[in-house]
Amino acid sequence: MKIKIDQGKCTECGMCVEICPVEAIVYEDVVKIDDTRCINCRMCLTVCPFKAITMR
């Protein structure tokens, strides 16, 4: 399973970028997840106030 960001729900608040322990989430015009760096810790899921991040 991979972590995905629903761009329609994301407000680009940056909370997920700040909490990611391996810097797998970056803001480049939109918030993106680098699947090669992501360790599936799910910290971003818990911090997202808009429920824009899910596991699929």
Tell me, what CATH number does 47's domain have? 3.30.70.20
CB-based contact 24:39 (threshold 8 Å): yes
CB-based contact 10:51 (threshold 8 Å): no
Question: 20: domain range?
Answer: 3-55
- The CA distance from 28 to 46, in Å, is 22
> Is residue 52 very low, low, confident or very high in pLDDT (cuts 50, 70, 90)?
very high
Q: Note the pLDDT of residue 48.
A: 97
Q: Note the pLDDT of residue 9.
A: 98
- The CA distance from 28 to 1, in Å, is 23
Structural domain total, the chain: 1
What's the pTM value of the predicted model, to 2 decimals? 0.89
Q: Note the pLDDT of residue 30.
A: 94
Q: What is the pLDDT of residues 10-51, one digit of tens each?
A: 999 999 999 999 999 999 999 999 999 999 999 999 999 999
